[in-house]
Amino acid sequence: QVQLVESGGGLVQAGGSLRLSCAASGSIFSINAMGWYRQAPGKQREWTAAITGGGSRNYADSVKGRFTISRDNAKNTVYLQMNSLKPEDTAVYYCNADAVAWDSSSWSRRDFRSWGQGTQVTVSS
């Protein structure tokens, strides 16, 4: 199993910055892609940014040029640096990861797609 724990959310004024972190734990053999999604009140969850195991990055158009995704493979952690925040960035931010880990229920290694519990980001105008 793979557990993801996010941190770093909070309240910030428009134009400010926040850095989100998401640490993966468990009996992990490898982590491939990691990413961030967000869900604003009354809206569907939307993809925000992703980074592959090789470090290739992609961003939603709404955050391109303002957000930067990075990862520390030694710490199994992904980050989201958010600059020039806007009120429309207000949402619960979730990280996810595609990993190969030990599954104690089947006593074998398998692929997992795991999600964190979410962290609230609120941007005031």
Tens-digit pLDDT profile for residues 73-118: 999 999 999 999 999 999 999 999 999 999 989 899 998 999 999 9
If you ran DSSP here, which 8-state letter would residue 27 be given?
Answer: S
User: What pLDDT score does 1 carry?
Assistant: 86
User: What pLDDT score does 114 carry?
Assistant: 94
Average confidence (pLDDT) over 14-29: 96
Give the number of residues written for the chain.
125
Q: CA-to-CA distance for 68 and 59, rounded, in angstroms?
A: 8
Q: CA-to-CA distance for 100 and 32, rounded, in angstroms?
A: 8
Q: Taking the CB of residue 94, how many other CB atoms lie within 10 A of it?
A: 21
User: What pLDDT score does 96 carry?
Assistant: 96
If you ran DSSP here, which 8-state letter would residue 43 be given?
Answer: S
Q: CA-to-CA distance for 124 and 76, rounded, in angstroms?
A: 32
| Local confidence band at 17 (pLDDT 50, 70, 90 cut-offs) | very high
pLDDT tens digits for range 27-73? 999 999 999 999 999 999 999 999 999 999 999 999 999 999 999 99
Q: Using CA atoms in the order 120, 99, 24, 11, what is the torsion angle rounded to 10 degrees?
A: -20
